[in-house]
Chains A and B, each alone.
Chain A
Amino acid sequence: MAVASSTYKKVLEGDQQPKEVLVKIDRVTKKFDETIAVDDVSLTINKGEIFALLGGSGSGKSTLLRMLAGFERPTEGRIYLDGEDITDLPPYERPINMMFQSYALFPHMTVAENIAFGLRQDKMPKADIEARVAEMLKLVQMSQYAKRKPHQLSGGQRQRVALARSLAKSPKLLLLDEPMGALDKKLRSQMQLELVEIIERVGVTCVMVTHDQEEAMTMAQRIAIMHLGWIAQIGSPIDIYETPTSRLVCEFIGNVNLFDGVVVDDSEAYALIDSPDLERNIYVGHGVSTSVQDKTITYAIRPEKLLVTTEQPAFEYNWSRGVVHDIAYLGGHSVFYVQLPSGKIVQSFVANAERRGARPTWDDQVFVWWEDDSGVALRS
């Protein structure tokens, strides 16, 4: 648990250490026949960080990872590792190791042989291999399973072996392909923290691919959101959740209420947005710098920042009347679906802090409101 909070802390403090670039992906494009899987992507990955590529299926995240591993060759662009151009190196000559989604353990070898496989390819002396394998087994707490075959292990154990195997050669870069894809939900959250702990203890730079935003946010220090082969946004989990730069990112990560509108008053200190969905204007606590011709804008607000109350707010902006349309009780919190007078239904998360509190119920008249700086004004 301490680990996750340390990751979170690092993110909050902005990571004071000087950033050293390890991987540089320079304008890489990959085409399969006519379909473009990765479209002119450039990004840098710093030494020692856990970087997540997050996207839906067909977003090109796996193709990008496979290009880093060397299984696919970019159609255009170069990839540099530690300043060295590795674009044309075959996978077996790259100091990069990968943990596969299916773990891809060799079924006919024992756990120890699996871990030793990579070291044997380097023609390491036998005694050194044994020492290294023992060290790796200890790292993932699998020492007592050294003589087992993969089919005699549970899913979580297999994952540990796969991790030990990919770390055995001390790669410069570790690639994780959907690391939790094959585990059930409860084991997943436990293994996420364990994986981060091991990766941080080893100190290896890590690029992971996932479609699970919770996983990316738990494990990674920086996340790149991919969509249709291009990168929509790169940033820390907090950046991406709290200040998305586009509607796409906003809708991809978490839930969101979107209000389309036009800027009616724009100054340096504040802006007013008039949305047809709302009876009152939206007040934004900062200028939104719109162009003169196009004043349309989208205002995005997360459900947990949209508050439900039964008393009418006293201020002029940022609230609306509504009727409770539906309630979904999820244990920790409830989702209120409130229908506004315009007919639009907005979501609001209400924490269930009390066991049985008096709260609005179906078809009650309520008010939804939010703080001046709760939402984000999106230009695209």
Chain B
Amino acid sequence: MKRFSFSNMMLWVGFLFIYLPMLILVIYSFNGSRLVTVWGGWSVKWYVGLLDNRQLIGAVLRSLEIAFYTAISAVILGTLAAFVLTRVTRFKGRTMFGGLVTAPLVMPEVITGLSLLLLFVAMAQILGWPQERGIVTIWIAHTTFCTAYVAVVVSSRLRELDMSIEEAAMDLGAKPLKVFFLITIPMIAPSLAAGAMMSFALSLDDLVLASFVSGPGSTTLPMEVFSAVRLGVKPEINAIASLILLAVSAATFLVWIISRRAEEKRRKAVQQAIEEGAAATWQQDKPEAKAAG
């Protein structure tokens, strides 16, 4: 039996604190009763019922769509901003640009949402676009704040990158744009993926901004869940939440497996290289030893 030390116990208390609510949520998604707070035996009827709930499924798909577009646009814009911030060392207004790019990180979402709503309304009146608020306006709103996150992630990676690698590419005859696509992008790919995943999650999760800039018929999943909860929590919500949890854990697990495999492969290759190198030096040494003997 393992000894239950104080630190061990605190670890489990911490785990419980974070994961017990989720566990309860998953358990209650299998509740047979209509009332969330009363246990009515095991059942999967809420999962089956989900399939018929067109409104909820529609909201899920819409949210995924917006999150997908947001991830792409935020990564592109955020990377460009990060590149300018880290590689163009001197230009007028650099400090201000850096501040403005990262400002949405600390800006209260209510303010961003309200100001975007005002902007869209004014634009609709003056330019005639957007005619009505919907997926596009939510996408624009999500891109504004996700770009800031991506810019932070990517610029920290760019900063620690050995600049001489890009210089070497230029030295060998590649023009700056080519260097960016052939050398810089592949080297920062992990942080681009991280930025994209983060944007996807942030967009999927956002309630406040979406509430401000969405229009009729463009309810996202968080809005749907929130409004459903206000009318009383339905076990259906528990079911969809459990499914999202399952999807997220599965994705995380998959990423972990893939990265562990890659790491193992890399370690093996390095080991092999070292062994071969050792064998080569041994062979070189051998004739010398003979000559000496």
Q: Does A69 contact B (CB under 8 A)?
A: yes
Q: Does A97 contact B (CB under 8 A)?
A: yes
Q: Cα distance A87–B274 when bound, in Å? A: 44
The reply to whether B172 and A108 contact each other, CB–CB distance below 8 Å, is: no
A residues less than 8 Å from B272 (CB atoms):
152
Contact (A108, B167) CB under 8 Å given A121-B174, A122-B173: no
Q: Does A252 contact B (CB under 8 A)?
A: no
Nearest chain A CB to B77's CB is how many angstroms away? 24
In the complex, which residue of chain A has the Cβ closest to the Cβ of B178? A121
Other-chain contact of B172, A97, A102, A148 (Cβ < 8 Å): A97
Q: Does B270 contact A (CB under 8 A)?
A: yes
B residues less than 8 Å from A90 (CB atoms):
170
The reply to whether B162 and A102 contact each other, CB–CB distance below 8 Å, is: yes
The reply to whether B270 and A92 contact each other, CB–CB distance below 8 Å, is: no
Other-chain contact of B164, A92, A104, A118, A151 (Cβ < 8 Å): A104
The reply to whether A152 and B164 contact each other, CB–CB distance below 8 Å, is: no
The reply to whether A152 and B270 contact each other, CB–CB distance below 8 Å, is: yes
27 pairs across A/B with beta carbons < 8 Å? A69-B167, A69-B171, A71-B170, A92-B171, A92-B173, A92-B175, A97-B171, A98-B168, A100-B164, A102-B162, A104-B162, A104-B164, A104-B168, A105-B165, A105-B168, A106-B165, A107-B165, A108-B186, A117-B174, A121-B173, A122-B173, A148-B269, A148-B273, A152-B269, A152-B272, A165-B172, A169-B172
Q: Cα distance A69–B284 when bound, in Å? A: 37
Nearest chain A CB to B274's CB is how many angstroms away? 8
Q: Does A153 contact B (CB under 8 A)?
A: yes
A residues less than 8 Å from B175 (CB atoms):
92
A residues less than 8 Å from B273 (CB atoms):
148, 152-154
The reply to whether B270 and A118 contact each other, CB–CB distance below 8 Å, is: no
| 0 or 1 for each of A91-124: is its CB under 8 Å from B? (1 = yes) | 1110011101110111110000000011001100
- Among A161-190, those with CB < 8 Å from B are 165-166, 169
- Among A58-76, those with CB < 8 Å from B are 69-71
Q: Cα distance A106–B167 when bound, in Å? A: 11
B residues less than 8 Å from A152 (CB atoms):
269-270, 272-273
A residues less than 8 Å from B241 (CB atoms):
none
How many pairs of residues, A versus B, come closer than 8 Å at their CB atoms? 73
The reply to whether B169 and A117 contact each other, CB–CB distance below 8 Å, is: yes
A residues less than 8 Å from B162 (CB atoms):
102, 104
In the complex, which residue of chain A has the Cβ closest to the Cβ of B274? A154
Contact (A104, B167) CB under 8 Å given A121-B174, A152-B273: yes
Q: Does B94 contact A (CB under 8 A)?
A: no
Contact (A91, B170) CB under 8 Å given A104-B165, A152-B269: yes
Most buried by A among B164, B169, B173, B186: B173
Interface residues on B, range: 20 to 34
Nearest chain A CB to B286's CB is how many angstroms away? 17
Nearest chain B CB to A167's CB is how many angstroms away? 11
A residues less than 8 Å from B269 (CB atoms):
148-149, 152
Most buried by B among A93, A97, A105, A121: A121
A residues less than 8 Å from B173 (CB atoms):
92-93, 118, 121-122, 169
The reply to whether B174 and A92 contact each other, CB–CB distance below 8 Å, is: yes
Q: Cα distance A153–B162 when bound, in Å? A: 18
Q: Does B80 contact A (CB under 8 A)?
A: no
- Among A283-326, those with CB < 8 Å from B are none
The reply to whether A91 and B164 contact each other, CB–CB distance below 8 Å, is: no
Q: Does B159 contact A (CB under 8 A)?
A: no
Beyond known contacts A98-B171, A165-B172: 11 more, CB 8 A cutoff? A71-B167, A71-B170, A100-B167, A105-B165, A107-B165, A107-B187, A117-B172, A121-B172, A121-B173, A149-B269, A154-B274
Q: Does B277 contact A (CB under 8 A)?
A: yes
| 0 or 1 for each of B272-285: is its CB under 8 Å from A? (1 = yes) | 11100100000000
The reply to whether A154 and B168 contact each other, CB–CB distance below 8 Å, is: no
In the complex, which residue of chain A has the Cβ closest to the Cβ of B277? A154
| 0 or 1 for each of B160-203: is its CB under 8 Å from A? (1 = yes) | 00101101111111110010000100110000000000000000
Nearest chain B CB to A311's CB is how many angstroms away? 42
Q: Cα distance A118–B174 when bound, in Å? A: 8
B residues less than 8 Å from A148 (CB atoms):
269, 273
In the complex, which residue of chain A has the Cβ closest to the Cβ of B272? A152
Q: Cα distance A122–B174 when bound, in Å? A: 9
A residues less than 8 Å from B171 (CB atoms):
69-70, 91-92, 96-98, 166
A residues less than 8 Å from B165 (CB atoms):
104-107
B residues less than 8 Å from A122 (CB atoms):
173
Nearest chain B CB to A15's CB is how many angstroms away? 29
Q: Cα distance A4–B274 when bound, in Å? A: 30
Q: Cα distance A121–B183 when bound, in Å? A: 13
Nearest chain B CB to A26's CB is how many angstroms away? 23
Q: Cα distance A105–B169 when bound, in Å? A: 9
Q: Does B266 contact A (CB under 8 A)?
A: yes
A residues less than 8 Å from B164 (CB atoms):
100-102, 104
6 smallest beta-carbon distances between A and B, as pairs: A118-B172, A121-B173, A104-B168, A104-B164, A152-B273, A100-B164
The reply to whether B168 and A92 contact each other, CB–CB distance below 8 Å, is: no
Q: Cα distance A329–B223 when bound, in Å? A: 81
Q: Cα distance A121–B182 when bound, in Å? A: 11
In the complex, which residue of chain B has the Cβ closest to the Cβ of A156? B277
Nearest chain A CB to B276's CB is how many angstroms away? 8
B residues less than 8 Å from A97 (CB atoms):
171-172
Q: Cα distance A314–B17 when bound, in Å? A: 93
Q: Cα distance A147–B269 when bound, in Å? A: 11
In the complex, which residue of chain B has the Cβ closest to the Cβ of A116? B172
